[in-house]
Structure 1
Amino acid sequence: SIPTLIFGIIFYVLLGRWGYGKKAKAETPARLPSEVPPASGSSRRLVIVIILSAFNFTLIFSAISFVPLFVVDHLRESEEAAAAMLALFYSGGLWAGPLGGYLSDRMGRVPVLVVACLISGPVIYLMSLAPFGWSLSAVLIIIGAVMHIPMPVSEAYIV
């Protein structure tokens, strides 16, 4: 953690030198004519997107928390194998995050989010049926992808 702390201090100093720490000039408090008022239902849609994203994340993460115990106790595998299965889950997010952003740009944010939410339940159920090996590995990678695909989608919707 010491290299990270040193990097943070250096980064903070460099940003200050480049002028990112200065206050912005005060603008007139009146609304600029180019600003568009927010749509009437935009906050309602935002709440729905946040709830869907949080539900999907909570559902998957609550199941994934028990994967090492499931692999060791139910499937009778070693603790190292359980750690490898957990690593496979997170490796699915390495490529799924950018894929989710790409899909949301092409197909729309809400459809990608809804499809990810609909896939998450059956895939978690398949985890209990999959034997140890390639099938469990594939299911865990898919679960990792389903959890990480909505993240850039919801971030893009909020921003």
Structure 2
Amino acid sequence: MAGVLVLEEGQQLLMQQAGLLITTVLVVVAGLIIMWIVVSIPVWIAAKIVTAGKARFSRAMLVTAAGPIVYGLVFFLSSAALSATIGVQFLVAAISFVLAFAAWIGVFKVGFDTGWFRALGIAILATIVFIIIGAIVTVGLQAIVPDAPQITPFPSF
């Protein structure tokens, strides 16, 4: 009888852990989707300005999803190839960064059907818009909940 009781307790614990794992996965996936949407907003606003209103939000989301993937692949592959040939770690990292950044701008160029300078403008303007939105969120959160921890790297006012 005691063995059955221990087995039932073990099954309960296993079910609780499985439920916790499923909940954690769902929260992480939901958080990533929300973050993807939020990060796409500055890109969309910047692209709207630079392309004279031709950019669509769905395209901004696509570019925002593809950009980091292309950046990571180019950085990883170029670092691996350059490490084998050059060997100087700082130089490898610098060249890989430049190549990956150019690939990221290339995603903007293709995604918004624009030239290289406009794609660079979208990237720069999106960064500025992101900083402004972050500052507004920080100020708003600090106004509503003064003791809340900072969620952005911007100082509270």
Same fold, TM-score > 0.5, yes or no: no
What TM-score do you get using the length of structure 2 for normalisation? 0.34
Q: Which TM-score applies when normalising by structure 1?
A: 0.33
Q: Rg: which structure is higher?
A: 2
Q: Which has the higher contact order (CA 8 A, sep 6+)?
A: 1
More helix per residue: 2
